[in-house]
Amino acid sequence: MMHTAFRALLGGAIASLVSGCVTATVDQMVYNKPENGIGDATVVILGRRHASDYDTEPDFVDCVGDHLAGGDDNIRVIGELEFVNQFYPWFEPRTAPLQIADLERLLQKQPVVAERLAAMNTQYMIWLDGSTVRGDSSGSLTCAVGPGGGGCFGFGTWSSDAKYEATIWDFTENAEVGRISTTATGQSYMPAVVIPIPIIAPVQGTACDGIGEQLLQFLSSNG
C-alpha cells in the first residue's frame, strides 16, 4: 500500500517536472453565436502570413483545427493547405483578404471562386494571427565527444512567449462576428548530467488549447 502511494507521488512529481510552467490568459469578444451549432456547414481555419518578421505556424493552425474537430464531431474543419490550394492564388500571403469586404469584392469579381466556396458550404472563416517566440535564455551547457563516448554537463533555461488572435468571419452575415486573443508565457529548463533532460514548457500547446476551447464554445451546439 505504502509502495503504491510512493509510486503515485513519484509519478506526479516527475509529471510536474518534465513540463515547465505556463501562464496563459484568454480574452474574447463574440456575438451572433450559432445557437444550434453550424449544422452541415464547414469551417476553415487559416493562418496570417503577411508580416515580415513572423509567420503564424502551420502546426498551430492544425492544432486549433484538431481541437475543434476533436471537441465536437459535428464540426467539419477544412484543412488549411487543402483550402489554400483549392482557392489559389487568392489566399496567398500577398493576396489574402485582410477584411471581409475584400473577400466580398473577390467573390463579385471572380464568380468561379464564389461557386467553389458555396460548394464547400463554408460558413465560418477563422483567421489566426500570431506566433510563439523564444525569449531570454541563460545558463550554460557543455557537451563533449571523444573516442570513449560523450556527454553533456550544465544547466540552461529559456522563456517562450505565445501571442495569437483569432478573427471569425461569418459568411451568412457577411460580417466579422468575433475576436479571441490569447497570450501564454512559460519557462523551459534543460539540466544535463551526461544526458540533457529537456523540461519544455508547452507554451504553444497551451495557447492552442485556450483559443481552441473558446472557438469550440462559440461554434458548438454542445457548448
Partner 1 sequence: MSVSTTSVPEARWLAGCLALVLALVAGCGPSEVVVKGEFPAPTMEKLPLTIGVWYAPEFVNHEFFDEATSRAESSWLVKSGQAQVQMWDVLLAGMFTRVVPLAERPGPGQGKASVDAVLIPEVVELQYALPTQTNVKVYEIWIRYRLQLVTSGGDPIADWNMSAYGKTPTALLQTDQSAVNLAAVMALRDAGANFATSFSRVPEVQAWLQQVHGNTKEAEL
Question: Using CB under 8 A, which of the segments 69-77, 87-95, 156-164, 210-218 binds partner 1?
Answer: 87-95
Binding mask 7-46 for partner 1 (x = CB under 8 A): ----------------------------------------
Distance in angstroms (rounded) separating the CA atoms of residues 5 and 154: 33
d(CA 95, CA 88): 10
Helix (H) or strand (E) holding 15: helix 2-18
Compute the least distance from the CB of residue 13 to partner 1, in Å: 27
Element (H, E) at 127: strand 122-146
Distance between CA 155 and CA 158 in Å, rounded? 11
Min separation Cβ 58 and partner 1, Å = 9
Looking up cell 517536472 gives: 17
Please say which residue, 90 or 169, places its beta carbon nearer to partner 1: 90
Q: Hey, which residues between 97 and 126 contact partner 1 (CB under 8 A)?
A: 102, 105-106, 109-113, 116
Q: 129 and 56 in contact (C-beta within 8 Å)?
A: yes
**Among residues 92, 99, 135, 197, which is the contact residue for partner 1, using CB under 8 A?**
92
Distance between CA atoms of 200 and 159, rounded to whole angstroms?
Answer: 10
Taking CB under 8 A as the criterion, which residues in 123-162 touch partner 1? 131, 133, 146-148
CA distance 105 to 28: 28
**93 counts as binding partner 1 under rule CB under 8 A:** yes
Residues near partner 1 (CB under 8 A): 53-55, 57, 85-90, 92-95, 102, 105-106, 109-113, 116, 131, 133, 146-148
